[in-house]
Amino acid sequence: MTDELLEKLRGSLLELDKEATLEAVRAVLQEGSAHAEAGVRAVTDALDRVGRLFQEGDWFLGELVYAGEIAKQAMELLSPHLSAGADKRLGTVVVGTVQGDMHDLGKNIFITYAQSAGFEIVDLGTDVTVEQFAEAALEHQPLALGMSCLLTVSAGAIGRVIEGLDRRGVRESVKVIVGGAALTEEFAHEVGADAFAPDAVTGTGIIRAWSQGR
């Protein structure tokens, strides 16, 4: 039953049918909160297909924007049901999407998992400048600073933020974790990040390990 609903969820999003997508999400959740993660994967799979359709010129910007809007509403329904399973405060993490980049669905999923694991999150939003990241690191003295990046043209901002932390004298006390479809593990290490997270669950596991190593 859940497989059918997940297929309906993927299919409705690809048909850009908002009502049917949200109805499918609600039906998945009615099967139990444990299915929320599969729901997120179905939305992400559909968005991967959307990205390819856009890249290949079969879909245009209007369709990309609308698919993103439907996905955002679907994620808002699913997020409260995601759980990384913990109940104590593990530390503060400052999170944002880098300058020039407005994509926030993946960042928000990471935030949901990290919060439910017990982290305090300072969400700087999207299009966050080097100065805003550095200021937030100085102000909140976080365990970690997380950057999300989906656009290749914006990836250079990550190295500049790390240099900014260095200039302000906070690099040594803050771990840096990065994620997003424009990045790779190799790139993350080249620009001086401490870790690359291919997905939100892995990312949460990494910061949890850091919090235990303090």
What residues make contact with ligand B1M under the rule CB under 6 A?
A: 44, 47-48, 50-51, 54-55, 61, 64-65, 67-68, 72, 95, 100-107, 109-110, 146-148, 150-152, 177, 179-182, 197, 199-200, 203
- Least separation in angstroms between residue 106's CB and ligand B1M is 2
Q: Which residue has the tokens 């997120």?
A: 40
Residues 6+ positions from 64 with CB-CB distance below 8 Å: 50, 51, 54
- Least separation in angstroms between residue 127's CB and ligand B1M is 7
Report the chain's terminal Cα–Cα distance, integer Å.
45
Question: Alpha helices of 56-104 — where are they, by DSSP H?
Answer: 61-78
- Least separation in angstroms between residue 63's CB and ligand B1M is 9
Please identify, using beta-carbon distances, which residue of 1 and 102 lies nearer to ligand B1M: 102
As given in the structure block, the two tokens for residue 23 are 């109805």
- Least separation in angstroms between residue 61's CB and ligand B1M is 5
Please identify, using beta-carbon distances, which residue of 1 and 61 lies nearer to ligand B1M: 61
Please identify, using beta-carbon distances, which residue of 68 and 192 lies nearer to ligand B1M: 68
CA distances from 170 to 9, 21, 160, 162, 164 (A): 44, 44, 14, 10, 9
Burial of 201 (0-12, 13-18, 19+ CB in 10 A): middle
Please identify, using beta-carbon distances, which residue of 14 and 181 lies nearer to ligand B1M: 181
